[in-house]
DNA sequence: CTGTTAGCGCGTTCAG
DNA sequence: CTGAACGCGCTAACAG
């Protein structure tokens, strides 16, 4: 292994000068620089970044915690985080957590272990153990930014959208088309994210004095087959909604499959609206009306924010909402008379 | 920052003993262990893994190079790599390359820089610069395993499937249904991966003495909108195939959208077959017949293989093909008379 | 502008 | 079984 010492010897300067040539060339005479560079090439020297990081007490690495990397909602966000990170000389340590607190904790610990400088989590909960009563940030926590799902009360910086408003807008759109019998096909009952979307849904219905019975609210997972099963169940229970509000696009696509099997045409017989605006939403059997979440921007903002925290600034706002957008495609129409 | 020295002082032993207690407790007397552990808890000591890695000349980190993490084909593989890596005490450094050789090189360099121990690449080309004539592995290259797309001649270990055979089987299935007029909706013309699938396609057609004109071979990208556009173009050119062989599932889903707009029913008017078996293939407007690629197994095998290389073994086989499978769903049927 | 000196925190000899 | 001493490869502070 050729080290900085060898280069120093070969070029007849001190190790300090070699180090400087590499990190702050402006502080080294041109002629010396050239000698050093030549020695580096001759010897095939490559900086031991691990040693450098150790010495500088920085890892230039951030942990990205994602519940499921094989999920188009998350992966698009991660993608943009990587782009920003790379442009700033940082690397991404990928942590797939499956929402498992133990795995989240293990990955977050890397910061204390000096293997990472900060954490971005796309999960629902803080990735560190915190007792339920805590309402403040502990300065001992690692530099942390949450994205999207986190809705807890501890004021950790979080980038996302206003889910209540978005769901309200989506539902209002259906109401505007004339729908009065709308079912909610949801995610897990205890996810705040799901609760928020349900809340916006209900709030919109209340404008028209519509109260929704339990037979119109289904819970499940944010997954294709859950959307399928929930929709089947909905109609098994005897409901005959003219529109479906699906808590995300995957659920909506699962629902579409169920509707096809039930011989219900979209949007002639029933309207359907999703949430997220995955790229694939435009390639469904019927292009899906949905809420666009600005996932690229979310990733970019989160990484930028974390970077500024790592540089010593403490964020003023802790709950940053980015603009969402209702994307109207072909899966929604006025109900038949 | 509390270091191993503080723990040593606090527990009245030497740093060596603290180190041993943590890494090889069997070599330390029980009573000493307890004293040390108590001191660790009292002081809140956390091992500086960065320093430890530096000292041990290992990073316990592997770089995973993926052309596009927001792609369901790749992300499922990455997911399994992470699972195996974590279970063996390794971490994943995520490198999104967009097929850019410069980015690939930058990430691969991390191994020489001691920030990573090895590389797994899901890309097409070797992620290191190698002159075109080279036909052998250079011992100076980082420990490397390729997955899926690599088809180069340098014998680097590569986990994948036999694409020629798979495409041959898929096409044979269509022929068996009675189709004689089949179009190929492909990926990039110069990707060996695409060429291999085309080769299998042609080989099957030859059995029936069918030669395919240029109007039946389309090239594009492995993407939704490319499948859409290629299919539109195909029919614009006047082709009237009774079946479409799509080089991957995304292309197939794009093609389906085009067929809907062309008022062609699947499978009554036209059959369609994909490649990969993404989860979502079962949720298309018509559940998609496709070739299943064992992506979990590919990820697992690759990581396992890299691990064994890191442990000093040199792989005998360099081209490992895993079994694929034809999944018949509803998008294929016999052509109308 | 450059060299000397002094560690960073840990693992690993080698004695005892 | 334990401790003293050394050094991994590099950066930073200070002189000069």
The verdict on A29 touching B (C-beta cutoff 8 Å) is no
Q: Which residue is nearest to nucleotide D5 (CA to C1')?
A: B16
Do B260 and A114 make contact, defined as CB atoms within 8 angstroms? no
The verdict on A38 touching B (C-beta cutoff 8 Å) is no
DSSP 8-state assignment for residue A293: P
How confident is residue A210, by pLDDT bands cut at 50, 70 and 90?
confident
Instruction: Give the pLDDT confidence score for residue A214 in this predicted structure.
Output: 65
- Cα–Cα nearest to A70, from B95, B141, B75: B75
Q: Which residue is nearest to nucleotide C5 (CA to C1')?
A: A16
End-to-end CA distance of chain B: 80
Instruction: Give the pLDDT confidence score for residue B59 in this predicted structure.
Output: 96
Give the C-alpha separation, A134 to B51, whole Å: 33
Instruction: Give the pLDDT confidence score for residue B214 in this predicted structure.
Output: 65
In B208-334, where does DSSP find H-type helix? 224-236, 249-261, 295-310
Identify nearest nucleotide to residue A56 by CA to C1′ distance.
D11
Predicted confidence (pLDDT) per residue in A134-148, tens digit: 889 998 899 999 999
Contact B72, B278 (CB under 8 A): yes
Predicted confidence (pLDDT) per residue in A273-288, tens digit: 999 999 999 998 899 9
Do B59 and A50 make contact, defined as CB atoms within 8 angstroms? yes
Bridge-based pairing of strands B144-147 and B158-160 is: parallel
Q: Which range has the worst mean pLDDT, A167-171, A207-211, B53-57?
A: A207-211
Q: Which residue is nearest to nucleotide D7 (CA to C1')?
A: B55
Cis status, amide bond into B267, omega within 30 of 0: yes
H/E element, B16:
helix B15-23
Å from the A49 CA to the D9 C1': 9
Q: Judged by CB atoms within 8 Å, which residues 106-125 of B form the interface with A?
A: 109-110, 112-115
Query: Could you say which of B50, B92, B285 has the minimum Cβ distance to residue A93?
Result: B92
Å from the B2 CA to the C16 C1': 30
Name residues of chain B where pLDDT drops below 70: 214-215
Contact B261, B233 (CB under 8 A): no
- What is the count of residue pairs from A and B with beta carbons less than 8 Å apart? 125
All residues of chain A having their beta carbon less than 8 Å from the beta carbon of residue B253 are 280, 283
Give the C-alpha separation, B140 to B240, whole Å: 53
Tell me the nearest-neighbour CA distance from B330 into chain A, angstroms: 13
Q: Judged by CB atoms within 8 Å, which residues 258-297 of B form the interface with A?
A: 260, 279-280, 282-285
Q: Which residue is nearest to nucleotide C12 (CA to C1')?
A: B16
Predicted confidence (pLDDT) per residue in A90-119, tens digit: 999 999 999 999 999 999 999 999 999 999
Which nucleotides of strand D lie under 7 Å from a protein CB?
Answer: 1-5, 7-13
Q: Which range has the worst mean pLDDT, A65-74, A213-222, B134-143?
A: A213-222
Identify nearest nucleotide to residue A57 by CA to C1′ distance.
C8
Q: Judged by CB atoms within 8 Å, which residues 53-92 of B form the interface with A?
A: 53-54, 59, 61, 64, 68-72, 75-76, 78-79, 82-83, 86, 91-92
Predicted confidence (pLDDT) per residue in A298-336, tens digit: 999 999 999 999 998 888 788 999 999 999 999 999 998
The packing angle between helices B4-11 and B30-43, to 10°, is: 120
Å from the B25 CA to the D2 C1': 13
Instruction: Give the pLDDT confidence score for residue B321 in this predicted structure.
Output: 96
Cβ neighbours of residue A207 closer than 8 Å, sequence gap 6 or more = A172, A175
Predicted confidence (pLDDT) per residue in B184-239, tens digit: 999 999 888 999 999 999 999 999 888 777 668 999 999 999 999 999 999 998 88
Tell me the nearest-neighbour CA distance from A129 into chain B, angstroms: 15
Give the C-alpha separation, A288 to A267, whole Å: 10
Which residue in chain B is spatially nearest to A285 when comparing CA positions? B285
Q: How many residues does chain B have?
A: 337
Cβ neighbours of residue A152 closer than 8 Å, sequence gap 6 or more = A125, A126, A192
pLDDT at residue A50 is higher than 80? yes
Burial of A243 (0-12, 13-18, 19+ CB in 10 A): buried
Burial of A321 (0-12, 13-18, 19+ CB in 10 A): middle
User: pTM for the full model?
Assistant: 0.94
The verdict on A4 touching B (C-beta cutoff 8 Å) is no
Instruction: Give the pLDDT confidence score for residue B82 in this predicted structure.
Output: 98
Predicted confidence (pLDDT) per residue in B264-285, tens digit: 999 999 999 999 999 999 998 8
Residues 51-70 of B with CB within 7 A of strand C: 51-52, 54-56
């Amino acid at each position: 292994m050729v080290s900085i010492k060898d280069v120093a010897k070969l070029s007849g300067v001190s190790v300090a000068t070699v180090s400087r040539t590499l990190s702050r060339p402006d502080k080294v005479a041109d002629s010396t620089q050239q000698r050093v560079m030549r020695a580096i090439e001759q010897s095939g020297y490559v900086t031991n970044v691990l040693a450098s990081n150790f010495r500088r007490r920085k890892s230039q690495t951030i942990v990205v915690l994602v519940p499921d990397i094989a999920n188009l909602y998350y992966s698009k966000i991660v993608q943009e985080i990587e782009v920003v990170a790379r442009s700033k000389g940082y690397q991404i340590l990928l942590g797939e957590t499956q929402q498992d607190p133990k795995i989240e904790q293990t990955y977050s610990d890397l910061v204390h272990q000096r293997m990472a400088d900060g954490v971005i989590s796309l999960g629902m909960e803080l990735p560190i153990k915190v007792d339920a009563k805590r309402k403040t940030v502990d300065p001992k926590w690692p530099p942390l930014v949450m994205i999207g799902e986190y809705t807890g009360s501890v004021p950790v910086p979080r980038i996302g959208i206003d889910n209540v408003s978005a769901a309200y807008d989506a539902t209002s759109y259906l109401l505007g088309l004339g729908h009065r019998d709308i079912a909610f096909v949801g995610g897990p009952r205890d996810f705040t994210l799901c609760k928020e979307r349900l809340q916006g849904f209900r709030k919109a219905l209340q404008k028209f004095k519509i109260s929704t019975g339990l037979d119109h609210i289904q819970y499940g997972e944010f997954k294709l087959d859950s959307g399928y099963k929930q929709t089947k169940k909905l109609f098994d229970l005897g409901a005959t909604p003219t529109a479906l509000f699906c808590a995300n696009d995957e659920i909506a696509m699962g629902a579409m499959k169920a509707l096809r099997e039930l011989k219900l045409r979209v949007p002639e017989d029933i309207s359907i609206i999703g949430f997220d605006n995955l790229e694939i939403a435009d390639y469904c059997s019927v292009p899906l009306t949905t809420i666009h979440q600005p996932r690229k921007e979310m990733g970019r903002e989160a990484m930028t924010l974390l970077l500024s925290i790592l540089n010593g600034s403490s964020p003023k706002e802790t709950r940053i909402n980015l603009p969402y957008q209702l994307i109207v495609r072909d899966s929604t129409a006025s109900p038949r008379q």
